[in-house]
């Protein structure tokens, strides 16, 4: 954005302008009694930021240009975040439906177990199991647990 003088904190657009300013203002003056002159010239240069009378593009214009350049990227990121949000919502809805179906199946399995106990009596123990498989929609493959790692097969 610019080059700033370390002594008087004035911004310049090129390193050459900063070098000319520094040699003309700060190197010619000694370190002792010229502190007041240095501060006064710094104040004058702050009022005329270019020092040499060369017009300078205001910092606000640079920032506004940066914001204009950044705007399309922000719009794209916003659209992507909205798409991710809606995808997450649909996934959560599907998980809720799956959870309710699992609850219903569990309840039905308890009913089947009670009926099996009535039919078989107490002599034959009834063991029932519930298994659930997840299938990827696009490929049609099922998720399986292989040594603790979930893989599509």
Claim to verify: residue 41 and residue 64 sit in the same structural domain: no
* Domain-ending residue, one of 40, 56, 72: 56
Whole-prediction pTM: 0.40
Q: Mind listing the pLDDT tens digit for each residue in 14-45? A: 888 888 888 888 776 554 444 444 444 444 44
Task: Please name which of 146, 108, 114, 147 lies closest in space to residue 130, comparing C-alpha atoms.
Answer: 108
Q: What is the pLDDT of residues 115-144, one digit of tens each?
A: 888 888 777 777 777 677 778 888 888 888
pLDDT over 60 (residue 55): no
For 71-121, how does the pLDDT look when each residue is reduced to its tens digit (9 = 90+)?
999 999 999 999 999 999 999 999 999 899 988 988 998 898 888 888 887
Q: Give how many domains the chain has, as a whole number.
A: 2
Would you state the pLDDT for residue 80? 93
The answer to whether residues 74 and 99 belong to one domain is yes
For residue 110, give its domain range. 60-152
In the prediction, which pLDDT does 46 show?
46
Among residues 6, 18, 2, 122, the alpha carbon closest in space to that of 61 is found at 2
Contacts of 20 (CB under 8 A, 6+ apart): 52
Per-residue model confidence (pLDDT) at position 36: 44
SS3 per residue for the chain: CCEECCCCCCEECCHHHHHHHHHHHHHCCCCCCCHHHHHHHHHHHHHCCCCCCCCCCCHHHHHHHHHHHHHHHHHHHHHHHHHHHHHHHHHHHHHHHHHHHHHHHHHHHHHHHHHHHHHHCCCCCCCCCCCCCCECCCCCCEEEEECCEEEEC
């Amino acid at each position: 954005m610019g080059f700033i003088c370390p002594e008087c904190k004035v911004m310049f657009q090129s390193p050459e302008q900063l070098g000319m300013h520094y040699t003309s203002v700060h190197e010619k003056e000694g370190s002792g009694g010229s502190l007041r002159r240095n501060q006064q010239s710094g104040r004058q240069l702050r009022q005329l930021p270019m020092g040499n009378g060369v017009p300078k593009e205001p910092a606000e214009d640079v920032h506004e240009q940066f914001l204009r350049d950044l705007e399309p990227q922000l719009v794209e990121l916003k659209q992507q975040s909205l798409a991710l949000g809606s995808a997450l919502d649909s996934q959560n809805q599907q998980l809720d439906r799956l959870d309710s179906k699992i609850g219903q199946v569990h309840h039905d399995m308890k009913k089947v177990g009670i009926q099996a106990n009535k039919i078989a009596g107490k002599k034959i123990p009834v063991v029932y199991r519930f298994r659930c498989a997840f299938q990827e929609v696009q490929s049609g493959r099922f998720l399986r647990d292989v040594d603790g790692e979930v893989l599509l097969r």
